[in-house]
Structure 1
Amino acid sequence: MSTFTIPEDASTVQPNVADLNAQQALAYHSVLAFVNSSSAERQNFFFLYGHGGTGKTFLYKALVAHLKELGKVVLVVASSGIAATLLPNASTAHSRFKIPLEIDHTSSCNIRKGTPLAQSIVDAYLIVWDEAPMVHRLSFEAVDRAFCDIMNVPFTGVHYKPFGGKTVLLGGDFRQTLPIVPDSGKEESVDSSLTRSYLWNSCMVLHLSENMRVDSSSANNQLDFHGMNFGRWTLSIGNGTMPARSFKENQPADWVEIPEALLIQTVGSPVQTMATEIYTDFQQRYHNISYLTERSIITPTNRNVTEINAHMLALVPGTGRSYYSSDTLHTDAADSYRIEAEYPTEFLNGLSFNGYPEHNIELKVFTPVMLLRNLNPAIGLCNGTRLMVIYLGHYVIRGIIMGGTFSGKTVAIPRIVLNINDHRWPFVLKRRQFPVRLCYAMTINKSQGQTLQSVGVYLPKPVFSHGQLYVAVSRVRSASGLRLLIINEDGIPSKYTRNIVYQEALADLLDIADVAQVCLVFHNFLF
C-alpha cells in the first residue's frame, strides 16, 4: 500500500509574513492595526473576500501565529469540519459557540457568563471564522447577541459594537453555494446570506484576488475561451459574467457553453464513460491511497452519486460487507401506537435523507468513504473527511485519512445513533449506523473545501442553485485536471449547461482588485 503526503500549499506551509503578496500583506497589517488599537471607535468587524486559491488560509495562519507569539488569545473556527482541519486549533463554529440548530430572529447562543468558554471570548484579541458565507445570517446574529451579553455591551443603541466589540475576521467566497434553506427559492436563499444581515453595514471587506493555487504552467494556459485563461474563466462563472443564452422563450439566459477541451463525449453508458475517464487504470491502482485522494467525480444530486459509487464498488476485487442500520421511531404524539403501526421497520429502512447514512451500506477494503458527522475534529474526524477503508469489523471500521492536515492518520469509526427530524414525517427517526458513505463520487455541495488533481463533473441534469457550477469547476488547480460530461434533456451529450448566479448575493461585494485603491480605503480608516 502506498502512502500519501499532501502537497505543500497554503493549508500546510508555515506562515511567513515575508511571503505574503501585496493584497495579503495589506489585509494582514490592517487587521493587526485595529486589533492593537485602543480607540473606542476602532473597526472591529472584517470580511476577507477571495475565491479559492487566493491564500485566505495562509493569511489566517499568519495572523494567528503572530498573535500567539505575543501571548494573545485567538479563537479560530470554521463553518465546516473540513475547513476546520486546515486551521490551527480550530473547531466548527456551531460547536465552539453553541449555536442552536433550530434558529430564528430572537435566538442566542447557549454560553453562560463565568464559564471557561465565556472567559475565552472575553480574553480573545481576534476571532477568525472561515467559510462564513455558507452559514445562515441568523447564526451570526445569534453569536452577536451572545457576545454583546458576555461583554456587557448594549445590543442596540449608539454604543452598540458588533460582536460586543470583539475583533472578528470572517472569510470566504460568496460565489459558492449559499446557506441551505429547505424548500426555499431564490428570495429565501439570498435573504439567508450574511450580506442581508444588519451586521453587514458595520463590516469592512478585505479583497484577495491573486490566485496562488491555479497552476500557471503552459498546459493550464492552453484554455482560451472568450479570451480568458483557466483562472479567469472559472471566476467569470462564479461572477455570472460568462456569456450566456436562453433556449426557451421567457426563460432566463443562464446557459453557458463549456469549452470543447473540457468535455467528455460518450456513446455508451455515461456513468461508465465518466468513471473510465477519471479513474484511469483503476484495476491496477484501486488500492493506492494517493491515487484515490487526488480524484473524484462530483454531481448535483445524491441519486447520481449513489449510481456512480455502486458502479465503482463493483469494480473493486474481493468480497464486500453490508452494514444494516437499526431504525426506530421516537414520537411524542398521543397516538404513538398508531404511528408505529403505520410506519413499520421495513418502511423506515427504505427511507433516505440527505446528509445521513443509508440503511444498507456496502463496503470493501480499499474503498474511499466520506464521514457524515463531526466525531472528533481534534484528530481530523469531521463531516466531509475522506478516508480509505483498511478494516471492516463488526463494531468498528478502520480507515486512513485522505488529504488535509491529518493525511495518513489511521482512525476508527464506530456506529452512532443519529436523530433524523424531517418535516415530511410525523416522527423522529433514530438510525444507528456507521456515519459514512462511499465517495468515489460526491455531491457538488459536499465538494466545497476540497482541492483535487482530477475532477469529473457529471451533469445528467443541470445544477439547481447559486454557485454550484462555479464550485464544481473550481475544485482543481489546472484545466488539465477538469472534465465535464453534460447530458441534455433528450439524453444526448451537450456542451451547454446552466450557470445559476444570484447577482443580489454579490451586489454588496465591490471587487477592489487594485492595491492602490485598497490602500486609499484603509488610509481613511487608519488615519
Structure 2
Amino acid sequence: MIFLNIVSIASSGIASQLIPGGRTAHSRFSIPLNIDGNSTCHIVQGSDLAELMVHTKLIIWDEAPMVHRHCFEALDRTLRDIMHSQNAALAKHPFGGKVVVLGGDFRQILPVIPRAGREDIVLASLNSSYLWPSCKVLSLTKNMRLSQGYSVEENSNISRFAEWILKVGEGNIGKIMNDEEHEITIDDDILIDDAEDLIQAIVESTYPKLVDNFKNYVYFRERAILSPTLDDVAQVNEFMLGLLPGEERTYLSSDAICNQDPQDQLAEVYTTEFLNTICGSGLPYHQLKLKVGAPIMLLRKFAGEKVLIARMLISPSDYKLPFKFQRRQFPVVLSFAITINKS
C-alpha cells in the first residue's frame, strides 16, 4: 500500500468547502493578497508549513483559472527555494518537482482585474504564465454534477441553462466575433419577461413559497440568485430579508484608521462616517441586518466546523485606498444572493 501526502485547495472560498478539510490557495500557501511578478509565498524555511511542502507529493488546485498567474509563479518560486535545501537539482524543476494538478475551465471566471480591459485579463491568466509551456492539458467532457444533490440528467431546467451557458462559452450562440462586445439571444424558457418589479419577479422564480420554507436549510442550500455586482447583491438580499417574518436586528461595525499617529490629520479628512460607507469584496458591511432563519455566508472562518461567530477585526486588501483601516464586525453577509465569482 502506497501513501501519498496530498494537498487539496481551491481558488475560491465556496469551492474549498466542497473539499474535505479544504482551504483556499491563499490560506494554505500564504500567498500575498497584493501580489506582483516578484512576490513569493510567506513560508519560512524550517517552519511546519515548509515541512508540509517538503513531504507533499501532489497538489490539487481547483478553479485554477480564476486567480492571477502571479499566484502560481509565487508558489513556483517558493517551492523551488524550499526544495533546493533538500536537493539542489529540484530547484530547476517547476514547483520544485512537485506534481501539481490544476482544475478549472477557462470559459468560466478569469482573474478579476479592476478597471482592466480584455488584454490585461488575458495577460493575467494562467496560460500567459512562463509555467504554462510545462503544463500537460487534459480536457474532461463528461457530465459533471452541477451542485450538491443535482445533476444535468436529474433536472431539465438546470440542464437547459447549463447547455446554453456552455454554448455561450464556446462561441456557438449568435454571430460571435473575437471582440469584447457582441449580441446574443437568450432562450425564452430561461428568461423572465413582462415583470413590473424585476427583483420581485426573480425572487419569486428562484425562491417559490419562501415563507413556508424559510426554516428548511436544504431549501436555501439548493438555490441562489447570482449577480455580477455587489450593489445588486445587497439590494436583493435586503429585499428578501424584508419578506421573512420575525424581528429584524441591526448590528453596526466599529471602524477606525490603523496605526494612527496622534498628530496625523487623516482622522479629520477621513471621518468615521466616511469609513462606514466603505464596502468591498471580503469586507462585511458597516450595517449588518439579520433575522432568525436568514441564510448567511461566513467570510473569514473555517468551513465544515461549528464555531462561535464573534466580531473580529478585518482590514480590506484594496491597496488603492490612501490609508489602511480596520472594521470590527461579524464576518458574515446575507446569502440569498451572491456574486457570480462566489458561485
Query: How high is the TM-score relative to the length of structure 1?
Result: 0.59
Pairing 1:440–2:336 present: yes
Corresponding residue for 1:286?
214
Q: Please give the alpha-carbon distance, in whole angstroms, between the structure 2 residues aligned to 1:199 and 1:421.
A: 27
If asked which structure has higher relative contact order (CA below 8 Å, sep 6+), I would say 1
Pairing 1:130–2:130 present: no
Amino acid in the other structure paired with 2:127 = T
Pairing 1:241–2:172 present: yes
Corresponding residue for 2:230?
302
Closer, same or farther in 2 for the Cα pair 1:433/1:160, shift >3 Å?
A: same
Is the 1:178–1:189 Cα contact (8 Å) retained in structure 2? yes
Closer, same or farther in 2 for the Cα pair 1:200/1:218, shift >3 Å?
A: closer
Closer, same or farther in 2 for the Cα pair 1:307/1:266, shift >3 Å?
A: farther
Which of 290, 299, 305 is the aligned partner of 1:372?
A: 299
Q: Please give the alpha-carbon distance, in whole angstroms, between the structure 1 residues aligned to 2:44 and 2:193.
A: 59
1:458-469 alignment to 2 at 5 Å?
none
Give the 3-state SS of the residue equivalent to 1:322 in structure 2.
strand
Pairing 1:188–2:140 present: no
Pairing 1:358–2:271 present: no
Closer, same or farther in 2 for the Cα pair 1:253/1:424, shift >3 Å?
A: closer
Amino acid in the other structure paired with 1:276 = E
Q: Please give the alpha-carbon distance, in whole angstroms, between the structure 1 residues aligned to 2:295 and 2:282.
A: 17
Pairing 1:268–2:196 present: yes
Give the 3-state SS of the residue equivalent to 2:108 in structure 1.
coil
Q: Which moved more, 1:362-371 or 1:345-354?
A: 345-354
Aligned-residue offset at 1:231: 4.8
Closer, same or farther in 2 for the Cα pair 1:150/1:157, shift >3 Å?
A: closer
Q: Please give the alpha-carbon distance, in whole angstroms, between the structure 1 residues aligned to 2:155 and 2:10.
A: 35
Q: Please give the alpha-carbon distance, in whole angstroms, between the structure 1 residues aligned to 2:158 and 2:223.
A: 21
Closer, same or farther in 2 for the Cα pair 1:187/1:438, shift >3 Å?
A: same
Aligned-residue offset at 1:243: 1.6
Amino acid in the other structure paired with 1:202 = S
Aligned-residue offset at 1:219: 4.2
Pairing 1:79–2:11 present: yes
Q: Please give the alpha-carbon distance, in whole angstroms, between the structure 1 residues aligned to 2:158 and 2:23.
A: 38
Q: Please give the alpha-carbon distance, in whole angstroms, between the structure 1 residues aligned to 2:4 and 2:155.
A: 45
Corresponding residue for 2:139?
207
Closer, same or farther in 2 for the Cα pair 1:192/1:270, shift >3 Å?
A: same
Q: Please give the alpha-carbon distance, in whole angstroms, between the structure 1 residues aligned to 2:50 and 2:155.
A: 52
Amino acid in the other structure paired with 2:113 = V
Is the 2:34–2:319 Cα contact (8 Å) retained in structure 1? no
Amino acid in the other structure paired with 1:233 = W
Which of 240, 251, 269 is the aligned partner of 1:342?
A: 269
Which of 70, 88, 91 is the aligned partner of 2:2?
A: 70
Q: How many residues align?
A: 337
Q: Unaligned stretches of 5+ in structure 1? A: 1-68, 224-229, 381-405, 448-527
Amino acid in the other structure paired with 2:6 = V
Corresponding residue for 1:277?
205
Q: Which moved more, 1:353-362 or 1:321-330?
A: 353-362
Pairing 1:216–2:153 present: yes
Amino acid in the other structure paired with 2:34 = E
Aligned-residue offset at 1:82: 2.2
Q: Please give the alpha-carbon distance, in whole angstroms, between the structure 2 residues aligned to 1:297 and 1:75.
A: 32
Q: Please give the alpha-carbon distance, in whole angstroms, between the structure 1 residues aligned to 2:236 and 2:91.
A: 56
Query: How high is the TM-score relative to the length of structure 2?
Result: 0.89
Amino acid in the other structure paired with 1:358 = Y
Corresponding residue for 1:56?
none
Pairing 1:321–2:249 present: yes
Aligned-residue offset at 1:203: 0.5
Larger radius of gyration: 1
Q: Please give the alpha-carbon distance, in whole angstroms, between the structure 2 residues aligned to 1:218 and 1:314.
A: 30
Is the 2:25–2:61 Cα contact (8 Å) retained in structure 1? yes
Aligned-residue offset at 1:170: 1.3
Give the 3-state SS of the residue equivalent to 1:87 in structure 2.
coil
Query: For each residue in 1:128-156, what CA deviation from the matched residue of structure 2 results, as whole angstroms up to 9, or x when unmatched?
Result: 111111111111111111111111189x9
Aligned-residue offset at 1:182: 2.3
Q: Please give the alpha-carbon distance, in whole angstroms, between the structure 2 residues aligned to 1:255 and 1:292.
A: 33
Corresponding residue for 1:148?
80
Q: Which moved more, 1:325-334 or 1:273-282?
A: 325-334
Q: Please give the alpha-carbon distance, in whole angstroms, between the structure 1 residues aligned to 2:331 and 2:90.
A: 48
Q: Please give the alpha-carbon distance, in whole angstroms, between the structure 1 residues aligned to 2:297 and 2:168.
A: 28
Corresponding residue for 1:100?
32
Closer, same or farther in 2 for the Cα pair 1:264/1:162, shift >3 Å?
A: same
1:254-265 alignment to 2 at 5 Å?
254-265=182-193
Amino acid in the other structure paired with 2:29 = F
Closer, same or farther in 2 for the Cα pair 1:78/1:339, shift >3 Å?
A: same
Q: Please give the alpha-carbon distance, in whole angstroms, between the structure 1 residues aligned to 2:27 and 2:156.
A: 43
Q: Unaligned stretches of 5+ in structure 2? A: 146-150
Query: For each residue in 1:244-275, what CA deviation from the matched residue of structure 2 results, as whole angstroms up to 9, or x when unmatched?
Result: 469xxxx8652211111111123421111111
1:485-524 alignment to 2 at 5 Å?
none
Aligned-residue offset at 1:323: 0.2
Is the 2:7–2:58 Cα contact (8 Å) retained in structure 1? yes
Aligned-residue offset at 1:240: 2.5
Q: Please give the alpha-carbon distance, in whole angstroms, between the structure 1 residues aligned to 2:231 and 2:192.
A: 21
Give the 3-state SS of the residue equivalent to 2:309 in structure 1.
strand
Q: Please give the alpha-carbon distance, in whole angstroms, between the structure 2 residues aligned to 1:272 and 1:220.
A: 20
Q: Please give the alpha-carbon distance, in whole angstroms, between the structure 1 residues aligned to 2:202 and 2:46.
A: 56
Query: For each residue in 1:440-470, what CA deviation from the matched residue of structure 2 results, as whole angstroms up to 9, or x when unmatched?
Result: 11111221xxxxxxxxxxxxxxxxxxxxxxx
Structure (1 or 2) with the greater strand fraction = 1
Q: Please give the alpha-carbon distance, in whole angstroms, between the structure 1 residues aligned to 2:68 and 2:159.
A: 39
